[in-house]
Amino acid sequence: MHHRLVARLVCAALLAAAPGLHPAQAGQSKAPARPKTWTADNGNGTFTNPVFYDEFSDPDLIRVGDWFYMTGTTMHAMPGLPVMRSKDLVNWEFLSYAAPKLDFGPQFRLEDGKEIYGQGIWAPSLRFHNGTFYIFTNINRRATQVYSATDPRGPWKHHEMRRSLHDLSVLFDDDGKAYAVWGHQTLQVALLNGDLTDIVPGSEKTLFEKGQGMGEGAHFYKIGGKYFILSANYAGGFRMPAARSDSVYGPYEVNQAISKDEGFGMMRGHRLKDGKPPFVIDPPNPASKDATALHQGGIVLTPAGEWWGFSMMDYNSVGRLLSLSPVTWSEGWPYFGLPGNLGRNPRTWVKPKTAVRQPVRVPYERSDDFSGATLKPVWQWNHVPVDDKWSLAQRPGFLRLRALPATSFWDARNSLTQRAIGPVSSPTVALNLEGMKEGDIAGLGLLNLPYATLGVEKTAEGLNLALFDQASGQTTRLPLDAKRIWLRADCNFLSEQASFSYSIDGKRFVDIGGLWTMVFQLKTFQGVRYALFNYNVNGAEGGYADFDGVEIAQPMPRGLMRAIPFGKTIRLASYNGETGLAANGEKLTASAPTMFKVKDMGLGRVALAAGVRYVAVDKEGGISLQAGEPGAAHSFQWIETPTGELILMSIANNRHLRIDPKTGEVVANSPGPLPDGGDGVRFTWSRAN
């Protein structure tokens, strides 16, 4: 579908992250105010989804005073339940982890052949009541867990309820009573007791039976005297239904979709067909238009009186990412999207209003030289760590991992991970090898199912560099004579291809193996994670591996892959055809593309001028060329799809400009791009000679 553009953009990205070059050396802007990692804030009063380009699934978000607070699912990764805060919903800072570790038996510790991949902590409900923050969350085969703190930086207290409430959401009502809604399609409601350890006997009621339109991942609110439940429903395609009532116990009326089909044009990527070897991977499917659509989330009111929606979206192998949407109330329902295009998110839009402009901020530093006394909060362990088998102090400036017995990377303890970040990134690890013993395997992994590892093996004969591909079960080995090595993975989450390389001097990198396909799957229920590991295959504790820093290069950390060509003359070509946009007197037609001058209309918007006339849109989506000073009718939000094609959203009706593939007519009536590219919404642009 759009592989040509992806390939071109990725080629440029990988050149920018070429071995031996830091991002600034590769020609990126040196502006000190911009972090070298993905930021949704475009610096011009707008933001581009996703808010984070690393996994943040099952989000819940509240406002307390002038601050917004958020947490999300962390599954088997520990510590868990990150707590963040923001004043503008776009720029976030990390505060704490509410759950330092989960240790409820050998499966949480990767012992006795057991594991909790894709389990652990999920679907948290974040609330604030009487000066205390609460997080209610689920753990498989355990009762619901409750974490509480008066300060969101911690410390967090913890207790377990007497029963499990699947995907619960809690509402503290105006009278101080606490209610929980929970379930999957069949939704229940009940009153919680005063110490939040159980439901009050006799208070439980079924609100919805299966097939009545509600799903799971409930978010429970009271707004304007009415009770609202937002949920995620997968039956018939990803969407967000909502229900409302004058009473906690109903009856509720249901709106089947306050958000539907919004995937920003992203096609469903590679999927794991069967979770057991030999692994079968299904190819991308552009016809599956709802496979990546926004779903589970909620809404929040800002101090400025704006309503905003938050939800997650499957971005394929990088994981499930957080997106932000303006909310439009219509007939008493909170629709995600803008007037005239309800239920659909603009990928780029104006940031929420704040009294004071907020600085660009990201929650994590991703690169780490391990010079601190503690690990940076970006790191999480794969299952419960063995605390006395790793250290930052035994060799200052290094992370030391001692090898514990394991049969493979999958069950290796003390693997230190962080979420992969898109759209393109390259983790590089420097590793000292002097402490390794026979049977040890240490290195860099892409934790997924299937996974891949690039590591160093210590055998009786010496050292080998070993690339293992779990998908094929094949290992590529090279003899190694070194005391120090650099390992790198180049990860392209647009094409879902990764490649590996190594270096003996940290400057010249040599490829090893071929392309490796990354997938999204439901075993770990996470996207790809970078991992540092050291384990011993001889059934005993081995030596140690010293990691001398990790660098995460990100050649595409902005909402636009190409800057808006303000003041320049460009041609706009249809992505899937030979035609483009052409000025023909007072009409805009589809033929050989002609030249348009791009005028800056502020907030990342443009007007397109053909001579003295500008492209204009009426409320019905009709197109004309008009003379005079351009205004809202001539303004388009300049937006890219995740794979880099241009889409133009008219400010006049909040619909997208397109060339109708059946009639060839140019109109502005599309709610948003389809994954298969067959709707004529996508354009490519080039500078005129």
Identify the CATH number of the domain in which residue 583 sits: 2.80.10.50
What secondary structure letter does DSSP report for 279? Answer: P
Q: Please indicate, yes or no, whether residues 283 and 219 belong to a single structural domain of this protein.
A: yes
Per-residue confidence (pLDDT) for residue 17, from 0 to 100: 37
Per-residue confidence (pLDDT) for residue 24, from 0 to 100: 29
Q: Please indicate, yes or no, whether residues 608 and 498 belong to a single structural domain of this protein.
A: no
- Which of 496, 442, 443, 452 has the alpha carbon at shortest distance from 474? 452
- Those residues whose C-beta lies under 8 Å from the C-beta of residue 263, and which sit 6 or more positions away, are 289, 290, 291, 292, 293, 294, 313, 675
Identify the CATH number of the domain in which residue 333 sits: 2.115.10.20
**Would residue 359 count as lying in a domain?**
no
Q: For residue range 347-393, what is the model confidence (pLDDT) as tens digits? A: 999 999 999 999 999 999 999 999 999 999 999 999 999 999 999 99
Q: Please indicate, yes or no, whether residues 520 and 645 belong to a single structural domain of this protein.
A: no
Interatomic CA distance for residues 256 and 231, integer angstroms? 10
Per-residue confidence (pLDDT) for residue 576, from 0 to 100: 83
- pLDDT bracket for residue 35 (50, 70, 90): confident
Q: Which of 503, 521, 553 is the last residue of a domain?
A: 553
Q: Taking residues 399-425, what's their average pLDDT?
A: 98
**Would residue 367 count as lying in a domain?**
no
**Residues 343, 324, 263, 58: is their CA dihedral positive or negative?**
negative
Q: For residue range 85-126, what is the model confidence (pLDDT) as tens digits? A: 999 999 999 999 999 999 999 999 999 999 999 999 999 999
Per-residue confidence (pLDDT) for residue 411, from 0 to 100: 98
**In this predicted model, which residue has the larger pLDDT, 69 or 237?**
69
Q: Please indicate, yes or no, whether residues 467 and 517 belong to a single structural domain of this protein.
A: yes
Neighbours of 19 (CB within 10 A): 19
Contact (CB, 8 A) for 43 and 34: yes
**Would residue 271 count as lying in a domain?**
yes
Beta bridge partners of 508: none
Beta bridge partners of 68: 63, 86
Cis peptide before 339 (omega within 30 of 0): no
Q: How far is CA 97 from CA 39, 77, 101, 258, 306, in A?
A: 22, 11, 9, 32, 29
Length of the chain, in residues? 689
Q: Taking residues 55-68, what's their average pLDDT?
A: 98
Q: Please indicate, yes or no, whether residues 509 and 588 belong to a single structural domain of this protein.
A: no
548 CB-contact burial (10 Å; exposed 0-12 / middle 13-18 / buried 19+)? middle
**Would residue 343 count as lying in a domain?**
yes
Q: Please indicate, yes or no, whether residues 544 and 594 belong to a single structural domain of this protein.
A: no
| CB environment 457-488: b (16+ within 10 A), e (fewer) | bbeeeebbbbbbbbbeeeeeeeebebeebbbb
Q: How far is CA 45 from CA 92, 300, 645, 667, in A?
A: 16, 20, 22, 28
Tokens linked to 336: 């995600």
Q: Taking residues 668-678, what's their average pLDDT?
A: 95
Interatomic CA distance for residues 171 and 227, integer angstroms? 10
Percent of the chain with pLDDT over 90: 91
Q: Taking residues 244-259, what's their average pLDDT?
A: 97
Contact (CB, 8 A) for 297 and 310: yes
- Which of 542, 520, 521, 524 has the alpha carbon at shortest distance from 533? 542
Beta bridge partners of 151: none
Interatomic CA distance for residues 596 and 634, integer angstroms? 13
Percent of the chain with pLDDT over 70: 95
- pLDDT bracket for residue 7 (50, 70, 90): very low
Identify the CATH number of the domain in which residue 427 sits: 2.60.120.200
- pLDDT bracket for residue 453 (50, 70, 90): very high
Per-residue confidence (pLDDT) for residue 689, from 0 to 100: 65
Residue 647 clears pLDDT 50, i.e. is over it: yes
Q: Please indicate, yes or no, whether residues 78 and 184 belong to a single structural domain of this protein.
A: yes
Q: How remote is the C-alpha of 419 from its chain's centroid?
A: 9
**Would residue 13 count as lying in a domain?**
no
**Residues 412, 414, 416, 420: is their CA dihedral positive or negative?**
positive
Domains in the chain, number: 3
Question: What's the longest Cα–Cα distance across the chain?
Answer: 81
**Would residue 369 count as lying in a domain?**
no
Full domain range(s) for residue 315:
56-350
- pLDDT bracket for residue 578 (50, 70, 90): confident
**Residues 343, 347, 353, 358: is their CA dihedral positive or negative?**
positive
Residue 212 clears pLDDT 80, i.e. is over it: yes
Q: Please indicate, yes or no, whether residues 241 and 144 belong to a single structural domain of this protein.
A: yes
Q: Please indicate, yes or no, whether residues 192 and 118 belong to a single structural domain of this protein.
A: yes
Q: Which of 503, 523, 553 is the last residue of a domain?
A: 553
Per-residue confidence (pLDDT) for residue 33, from 0 to 100: 55
Q: Please indicate, yes or no, whether residues 522 and 634 belong to a single structural domain of this protein.
A: no
Q: Strand (E) positions, 185-332? A: 186-191, 205-208, 216-223, 226-232, 239-245, 253-260, 271-274, 280-282, 297-301, 307-314, 320-330
Q: Which of 528, 553, 578 is the last residue of a domain?
A: 553
Residue 14 clears pLDDT 50, i.e. is over it: no
Q: For residue range 276-334, what is the model confidence (pLDDT) as tens digits? A: 888 999 999 988 766 788 999 999 999 999 999 999 999 999 999 999 999 999 999 99
360 CB-contact burial (10 Å; exposed 0-12 / middle 13-18 / buried 19+)? middle
Annotate 532-550 with three-state secondary structure.
Answer: EEEEECCCCCCCEEEEEEE
Q: Please indicate, yes or no, whether residues 544 and 620 belong to a single structural domain of this protein.
A: no
**In this predicted model, which residue has the larger pLDDT, 312 or 33?**
312
Residue 18 clears pLDDT 70, i.e. is over it: no
Residue with tokens 């303000």: 566
Q: Taking residues 258-279, what's their average pLDDT?
A: 92
Residue with tokens 């104006």: 350
Q: Please indicate, yes or no, whether residues 573 and 548 belong to a single structural domain of this protein.
A: no
Residue 13 clears pLDDT 70, i.e. is over it: no
Residue 600 clears pLDDT 80, i.e. is over it: yes
Q: How far is CA 7 from CA 13, 421, 667, in A?
A: 10, 18, 29
**In this predicted model, which residue has the larger pLDDT, 4 or 592?**
592
**Would residue 33 count as lying in a domain?**
no
**Would residue 372 count as lying in a domain?**
no
The answer to whether the pTM exceeds 0.85 is: yes
